[in-house]
């Protein structure tokens, strides 16, 4: 797992790195930690290299970390974001750039663990990759709500974004082998964790999507969901 951290205070940056290393040893996590004291250098690195989690100090000089991350998000870079700060002044802006956690200084190990947990650092589930027209995205299967086909493209919906992938639904299913995915229609694949309602001809998902149920074997599709749901209790 690659972690990138940027803070113009060298001592605080070193403290973050040491705490991350200690957590890595504690939970046997393989962490590749890259640190930067200048925002522009960090930005250049992230434009050329992937990262799983980015720790960003808000009060970077010149400017601030929020603006730097906003620029990175405009390039559609996919990483979990944790802001580091000594105040709550930029709390609203942090949500605008999809921050997963807001970590106050001085750092506390238990809060840092919470931040890593929120970012999925302790999840054992592996990522799957998909190619869009502009990027290769890395997603956790559990974060995928529904996949639907439109005009030879698969649209992969997560809570944060929708990804347009040139692929058949069968190719996507080959990657999503978890037992919680169900093909409800020839062009719709749902994550059953997000089902909020089952109706005669569709499933209602948590994001408001209505996944149609194929008429020919609607009973079998609904039964497959019910059997899976019973095992979750």
CATH of residue 17's domain is 3.40.50.2300
The tokens 């690659």 sit on which residue?
2
Domains in the chain, number: 2
Residues 15 and 112 both lie in one domain: yes
Confidence of residue 94 (pLDDT cuts 50, 70, 90): low
Query: Angle at which helices 109-118 and 10-27 pack, to 10 degrees?
Result: 70
Chain centroid, CA 216 distance in Å: 36
Residue 204 has pLDDT above 80, yes or no: yes
Residue 201 has pLDDT above 60, yes or no: yes
Residue 196: give the domain boundaries.
139-231
Residues 68 and 36 both lie in one domain: yes
Lowest mean pLDDT among 28-37, 108-117, 118-127, 160-169: 118-127
Residues 99-127, mean pLDDT to the nearest whole number? 86
Among 71, 88, 118, residue at a domain's last position: 118
**29 vs 224, which has greater pLDDT?**
224
Residues 121-147, mean pLDDT to the nearest whole number? 86
Residues 209-225, mean pLDDT to the nearest whole number? 93
Q: What is the pLDDT of residue 183?
A: 96
Q: What is the pLDDT of residue 124?
A: 65
Residue 63 has pLDDT above 80, yes or no: no
The tokens 């970390």 sit on which residue?
65
Residue 148 has pLDDT above 60, yes or no: yes
Would 132 be classed as within a structural domain?
A: no
Residues 102 and 14 both lie in one domain: yes
Cα angle: 76, vertex 1, 95; to 5 degrees? 40
Alpha helices in the chain (DSSP H): 10-27, 39-48, 65-74, 91-96, 109-118, 169-175, 218-231
Q: What is the pLDDT of residue 91?
A: 54
Q: What is the pLDDT of residue 30?
A: 81
């Amino acid at each position: 797992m690659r972690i990138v951290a940027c803070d113009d205070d060298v001592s605080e940056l070193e403290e973050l790195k040491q705490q991350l290393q200690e957590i890595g040893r504690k939970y046997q996590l393989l962490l590749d930690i890259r640190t930067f004291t200048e925002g522009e250098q960090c930005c250049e690195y992230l434009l050329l290299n992937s990262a799983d989690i980015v720790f960003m100090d808000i009060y970077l000089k010149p400017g601030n970390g929020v603006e730097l991350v906003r620029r990175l998000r405009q390039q559609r870079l996919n990483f979990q974001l944790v802001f580091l700060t000594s105040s709550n002044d930029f709390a609203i802006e942090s949500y605008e750039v999809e921050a997963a956690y807001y970590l106050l200084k001085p750092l506390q190990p238990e809060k840092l663990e919470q931040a890593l947990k929120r970012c999925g650092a302790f999840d054992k589930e592996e990522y799957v990759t998909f190619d869009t027209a502009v990027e290769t995205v890395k997603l956790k299967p559990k974060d995928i709500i529904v996949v639907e086909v439109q005009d030879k493209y698969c649209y992969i919906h997560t809570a944060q974004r929708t990804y347009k992938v040139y692929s058949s639904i069968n190719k996507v299913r080959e990657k999503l082998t978890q037992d919680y995915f169900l093909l409800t229609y020839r062009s719709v694949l749902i994550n059953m964790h997000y089902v909020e309602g089952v109706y005669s001809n569709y499933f209602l998902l948590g994001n408001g999507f209505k996944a149609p149920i194929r008429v020919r074997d609607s009973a079998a599709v609904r039964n497959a969901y019910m059997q899976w749901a019973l095992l979750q209790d």
